[in-house]
């Protein structure tokens, strides 16, 4: 009786060892039966162990994941290329190529929901690795991802519209800039769904809504780019007298180049700070020479930083210190305008 029990135990142990050596996914027929191609993307790799088992297992696992990813990428790339060609012919989506580039970046990332297993066969000195992902899980993920990004874009555009109505252009532009990077993610999700789900409809892909939001965003950007609003904060000291000599000249020249002025910071695209002081340089006979020293800063409300800072000086001469100082301020103003136009001209 004990011998029979021992034999049964050994047979069971042998069967378990055999099962461990040959998981069902190692066999091609079993693998296709359990993970059919209509329901799964898969990657299968085997390697002879030349160094350590751990190293070969890692390599095989990585190769299996890469094989799976390539299958998905190939389908997505084909669908993306077809869409770009169609959109180029129809004149839609001028940024189609950038969307394609983003798709390449996204598809190189780890596939959501991908699982993998590995097995080492001591008898064969072989490592097997298998990666798989359920297509329906991917469809569910990218449908959710698509909706999340479209809703986020919609929120940014709505906020931008409200800010535009309140004449807060810089803040409106920032909202639109926040929305733009989401469009490639939307396009990639749509391409993934098209590649994975042959039954995906235009409604599933939310194509009409995407196109409407994109057109709305580009139209708003065009409107917001028309005219630059500047808030000027100036201080001109003519030997103790408060004047606006340079400020008036600068405003006049900038207005001729499409700039407008506002007294409300929230409405401004730029805040221009000008501080000018005067000093006597010297005298020659009846002529006095004075200098005007200007410190200029241009703050970009959209970028939230100074984009231009400088110290500019010029001189002026006259028979009186006051007139020489005025001439100096007059002379420094055009130099300031020349530098500013590089940043604020439409």
In order of start, what are the domains of the chain with their CATH numbers? 18-226 (no CATH), 229-344 (3.30.160.150)
Separation CA 71–CA 35 (nearest Å): 15
Q: pLDDT grade, residue 58 (50/70/90)? A: very high
Q: Under a CB-based contact definition with an 8 Å cutoff, are residues 231 and 271 in contact? A: yes
Mean pLDDT, residues 27-39: 92
Which residues, including other chains, have CB under 8 Å from residue 19's CB and lie 6 or more apart? none
Is residue 60 classed as helix, strand or coil in its secondary structure? Answer: helix
* In the predicted structure, residue 4 carries a pLDDT above the cut 50: no
Q: Judge residue 85's burial from the number of C-beta atoms within 10 Å of its C-beta, 0-12 exposed, 13-18 middle, 19 or more buried.
A: exposed
Which range among 27-41, 79-93, 133-147 shows the weakest confidence by mean pLDDT? 79-93
In tens, the pLDDT along 253-273 reads 999 888 889 898 888 889 999
What is the β-pairing status of strands 259-261 and 287-300? unpaired
Q: What is the dihedral of CA 153, 229, 343, 170, to 10 degrees?
A: -20
- pTM of model > 0.85: no
Separation CA 38–CA 33 (nearest Å): 11
Q: Which phi-psi region, left, alpha or beta, contains residue 3 (left: φ > 0; alpha: ψ -120 to 50)? A: alpha
């Amino acid at each position: 009786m004990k011998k029979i029990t021992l034999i049964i135990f050994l047979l069971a142990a042998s069967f378990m060892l055999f099962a461990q050596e040959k998981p069902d996914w190692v066999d091609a027929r079993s693998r296709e039966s359990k993970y059919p191609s209509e329901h799964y993307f898969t990657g299968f790799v085997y390697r002879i162990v030349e160094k350590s088992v751990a190293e070969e297992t890692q390599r095989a696992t990585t190769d299996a994941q890469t094989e799976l990813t390539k299958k998905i990428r190939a389908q997505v790339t084909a669908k993306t290329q077809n869409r770009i060609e169609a959109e180029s012919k129809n004149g839609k989506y001028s940024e189609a190529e950038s969307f394609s580039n983003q798709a390449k970046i996204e598809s190189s990332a780890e596939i959501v929901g991908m699982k993998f297993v590995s097995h080492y066969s001591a008898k064969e000195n072989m490592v097997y690795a298998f990666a798989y992902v359920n297509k329906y899980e991917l469809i569910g993920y990218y449908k959710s991802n698509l909706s999340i990004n479209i809703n986020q874009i919609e929120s940014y555009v709505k906020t931008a519209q409200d800010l535009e109505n309140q004449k807060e252009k810089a803040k409106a532009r920032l909202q639109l800039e926040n929305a733009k990077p989401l469009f490639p993610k939307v396009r990639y999700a749509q391409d993934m769904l098209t590649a994975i789900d042959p039954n995906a409809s235009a409604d599933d892909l939310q194509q009409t809504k995407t196109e409407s939001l994109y057109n709305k965003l580009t139209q708003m950007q065009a409107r917001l780019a028309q005219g630059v609003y500047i808030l000027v904060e100036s201080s001109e000291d003519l030997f103790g007298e408060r004047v606006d000599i340079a400020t008036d000249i600068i405003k006049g020249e900038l207005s001729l180049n499409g700039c407008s002025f506002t007294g409300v910071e929230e409405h401004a695209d730029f805040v221009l700070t000008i501080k000018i002081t005067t000093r006597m340089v010297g005298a020659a006979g009846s002529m006095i020479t004075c200098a005007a020293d200007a410190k200029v800063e241009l703050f970009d409300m959209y970028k939230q930083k100074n984009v231009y800072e400088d110290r500019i000086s010029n001189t002026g001469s006259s028979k009186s210190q006051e007139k020489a100082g005025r001439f100096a301020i007059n002379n420094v103003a055009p130099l300031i305008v020349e530098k500013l136009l590089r940043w604020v001209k439409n």
